[in-house]
Amino acid sequence: MKARVYVTLKPGVLDPQGKAIQGSLHSLGFSGVESVRLGKFFEISLAGTDAKSAESELARMCEKLLANTVIEKYRVEILP
Amino acid sequence: MSCGVIVFPGSNCDHDALRAVEQLTGRAAKRLWHKDRDLAGVDRVILPGGFSYGDYLRSGALARFSPIMEEVARFAERGGPVLGICNGFQILCEAGLLPGALTRNASLQFACRDVHVRIESTDSTLTRGLAARTVLRLPIAHADGNFTLDSGDSGALAALEDRGQVLLRYCDPGGEVTADSNPNGSLGNIAGLRNARGNVTGLMPHPERALEPLLPSLDGEPLLRAFLS
């Protein structure tokens, strides 16, 4: 089974990297870019076929390691 | 007094810390390996600076799951003095032994220079016996020192301050806490913190690199003496 995990900064947490990327996009002429937030994306392969238990296991992985929940939130997607 | 210094793969200030302990106490510190499962009977623990596990994922995020960290957590729980310097501070935050998180410097640049910090609270194993509002000159060398708290918890900073958990703030040479003296964008200019009990402390500056007359500052000594006394 394959899953995708997205870890992104909580709203309100400053993202200096996102700001710098936004500035570079502007200087490349993409003047319509209003904001950029940088996050992390994980592709995870899991043994087993039960999507429900995979989802709860992935949530535990996020809580323990993949995200720092002081500043980040996460979203889990199980691929069909 | 016996002090242990934990060596993680990627630590690079472990030798500075080992040398500092020996210089200030006359007794060699014990090197503890990240895979050890006990603290070899030491009664002080230092987590040194560096780039443990390459700082993969987030600074300190992987080191906190080293086997020895379970023992560090138990030691802290019993009231044992633990000091995290730079990457060690990041590891303690990731481990939940200190509050908050250390994120990318607002400048996006690695900051490597001397800064000034002001002692805010003397109620900790790192600052006891020192005078509040003393200004120290210490070196910093980090990319992820921007102290942050959960943005959803607007009272979190005030709660830390009320409990006296803020130990050090970046300031100008005269001791004024200003935006210009903040090298990394840290909330409240916070450079060092303690846990609620005061036995676990962390700071981004490097006191162990400010002990030699050949170097610009000797101001690391009072902090490390307090911790080692």
CATH number for the domain that contains residue B69: 3.40.50.880
Q: Residue A12 — very low, low, confident or very high, per pLDDT cuts 50/70/90?
A: confident
**Taking CB atoms and an 8 Å limit, are A16 and B106 in contact across chains?**
yes
Which residue among B61, B65, B108 places its CB closest to the CB of A20? B108
Residue B127 has pLDDT above 90, yes or no: yes
Give Cβ neighbours of residue B111 (< 8 Å, ≥ 6 apart). Answer: B105, B140, B141, B142, B143, B145, B183, B184
The percentage of residues in chain B with a pLDDT greater than 70, rounded to a whole number, is 100
**Taking CB atoms and an 8 Å limit, are B101 and A68 in contact across chains?**
yes
Residue B152 has pLDDT above 80, yes or no: no
pLDDT value for B212? 95
- B161 close to A21: Cβ distance less than 8 angstroms: no
CA B229 to chain centre: 17
Separation in Å, CA B187 to CA B139, B148, B169: 19, 6, 10
SS3 state at B156: helix
Is the Cα torsion angle A37, A43, A44, A50 positive or negative in sign?
positive
Enter the DSSP assignment of B70. Answer: H
- B44 close to B17: Cβ distance less than 8 angstroms: no
Strands (E), chain B: 3-7, 30-33, 44-47, 82-85, 101-103, 111-119, 135-142, 146-148, 166-171, 190-194, 200-203
pLDDT value for A25? 97
B144's tokens: 């992820």
Q: Residue B153 — very low, low, confident or very high, per pLDDT cuts 50/70/90?
A: confident
- B203 close to B226: Cβ distance less than 8 angstroms: no
For A16-72, how does the pLDDT look when each residue is reduced to its tens digit (9 = 90+)? 999 999 999 999 999 999 999 999 999 999 998 899 999 999 999 999 999 999 999
SS3 state at B115: strand
Residue B151 has pLDDT above 80, yes or no: no
HSE value, Cβ hemisphere, 13 Å, CA-based, for B145: 33
Chain length of chain B: 229
The answer to whether A65 contacts chain B (CB < 8 Å) is: yes
Separation in Å, CA B110 to CA A9, B53, B144, B182: 21, 18, 8, 14
CATH number for the domain that contains residue A11: 3.30.1280.10
B9's tokens: 């793969």
Residue indicated by tokens 């020895």: B68
pLDDT value for A48? 87
Residue B107 has pLDDT above 90, yes or no: yes
Residue B124 has pLDDT above 80, yes or no: yes
From the list B34, B116, B142, B206, the catalytic residue is B206
Q: Which of A5, A9, A19, A71 to mutate to test the interface with B (most CBs of B within 10 A)?
A: A71
**Domain assignment of residue A71, given as a range:** 2-78
Q: Residue B51 — very low, low, confident or very high, per pLDDT cuts 50/70/90?
A: very high
For B24-38, how does the pLDDT look when each residue is reduced to its tens digit (9 = 90+)? 999 999 999 999 999
Report the phi/psi class of residue B54: left, alpha or beta, with left for phi > 0 and alpha for psi in -120 to 50: left
pLDDT value for B100? 96
Which residue among A10, A17, A68 places its CB closest to the CB of B94? A68
Rg (chain A; Cα; Å): 16
The percentage of residues in chain B with a pLDDT greater than 90, rounded to a whole number, is 97
Q: How many domains is chain B partitioned into structurally? A: 1
**Domain assignment of residue B187, given as a range:** 3-228
For B58-103, how does the pLDDT look when each residue is reduced to its tens digit (9 = 90+)? 999 999 999 999 999 999 999 999 999 999 999 999 999 999 999 9
Q: Which string of b and e fits B168-201 if b means at least 16 CB within 10 Å?
A: bbbbeeeeebeeebbbbbbbbbbbbbbbeebbbb
Query: Is B208 one of the annotated active-site residues of the chain?
Result: yes
According to DSSP, the β-strands at A72-78 and B30-33 are unpaired
Question: Model's pTM, two decimal places?
Answer: 0.94
How much is the average pLDDT of A1-5? 96
C-alpha–C-alpha distance, residues B106 and B207, integer Å: 23
For B6-15, how does the pLDDT look when each residue is reduced to its tens digit (9 = 90+)? 999 999 999 9
Rounded to the nearest integer, the mean pLDDT of chain B is: 96
Q: How many domains is chain A partitioned into structurally? A: 1
Report the phi/psi class of residue A57: left, alpha or beta, with left for phi > 0 and alpha for psi in -120 to 50: alpha
C-alpha–C-alpha distance, residues A30 and A40, integer Å: 23
Closest chain B residue by Cα to residue A39: B57
